[in-house]
Structure 1
Amino acid sequence: MSEGTEQVKIQRITDRERLEAEDTVVREFPLTIILNNQELVTLLCSPAKLRYLALGFLASEGLIREKADVKSLLLDDRRGVVRVETAGPTPIEQGSVFKRFITSGCGKGAAFYSAVDAAQAKVESATRIAPDQVFSLMKDFQTRSDIFRETGGVHSAALAEGDRILVFCEDIGRHNAIDKIFGECLWEGIPTRDRIILTSGRISSEILFKVAKRGIPILISRSAPTDLAVKTGGDLGITVIGFARGRRMNIYSHPDRVKGAGDP
């Protein structure tokens, strides 16, 4: 059993019997981010890669842009608190309304940025991908989550290039899983521009905003996009691929990045 799971006693009922049993469930952990001595947000998350989650959340919301923006980061994983001090003032300190949310980052994530920020992040990229690469990536992606196999209770995300997965994260929240990817990339110096994001979850417009800020031109999911995600993908220059399962997929925006037969 991993640190991200817990054993619980249950009653299991079938059409033939009712019995006492044990089941493995995913852990849910509250992480409070304190930015420059002000409580910013409490995220309900999986208790792994918490530093990366905090950094990725701050980067996705436009509160930091690079590792040099972080003066200090202190994690108390027993109490579920991460304290981040920035090298300079943040947009929130410069006059934005200060808010506090409690969220799993799975439905509607907490957001501090504006639509204007997203409009400025249009992705221009020559990156292209072949259908066989999409199918190969998703096959690899779907076998990586041990916690999902144990519990069925987490989302996954990955950064990829070509047909290789470079970074993989999982979390109870689909937004959190992607923020963990971006936090790890920011802290470890892993480039994201012109690469590919894979996700197990529904594609919403908010996820498109996150992806655009990192210069990523292709987003692939085994699930569905929303109508606003399709429009946002078109506006932001992102190729949105959904229902990538087995040997099929749907392309919802910028299909020119997916190679056809005979393309170089």
Structure 2
Amino acid sequence: MTGLIYMWLPAPTDFILLPNDVHVWRIDLDRPEAQLHNLAATLSSDELTRANRFHFQEHRQRFIAGRGILRRILAGYLGIEPQQVQFDYQHRGKPVLADTFASTGLFFNLSHSQGLALCAVSCDRQIGVDLEYIRPMSDVEALAQRFFLPREYDVMRSLPADQKQEMFFRYWTCKEAYLKATGEGIAQLEQIEIALTPTESARLQTLQDWSLIEIIPADNYLAAVAVAGFGYQLKYWQY
């Protein structure tokens, strides 16, 4: 498939987001203990409560890393300290910047899977990102029949067995990225039609005013970013 990103640039010193910029950050969630301690110190009390609900230490630490680094990234754009970033939550739990920051026009979305996360940021454009670790699934065709539209399912069913799994995750990440951008739930998966082939990049068939960017951020991972509109400049940063 297309969309392989060969170079993730080092984090910039100055976080500058122009009106047509779309920035995608790759975040390694497995961090040293000392760094986790510093990141935890920037979290709100409700974020720490959520972190402590995780049964396994690995999951707890990855949550702290993801939210702490998200705060650092957003703080860089906003010109404030990470602990000053405030979130509101939409009815389906999607975090957005609090109304205090509405005038900045900053949109963001975070997705994580296993030890990796992606954060997508834009100015005045709705944006969503979904990241999935490609894991073996014996029922991939049945899942496609359940969640995908007939034409999407037919594409998957026509492929050789060794291509079906990748195609499933391409469809899934593209749909989820759009649904996360708009704040809709997974129940809407079959309302969104994606046009793609094994050799061509995805596009939203049902909505012409949205863009899809497919990314292979690391071995055994697939991701997609959904952005409102066109004519943007993409930059890829490694945190």
TM-score of the pair, normalised by structure 1: 0.25
Higher helix share: 2
Structure with greater contact order relative to length (CA < 8 Å, sep ≥ 6): 2
Decide which structure has the larger Cα Rg and report it: 1
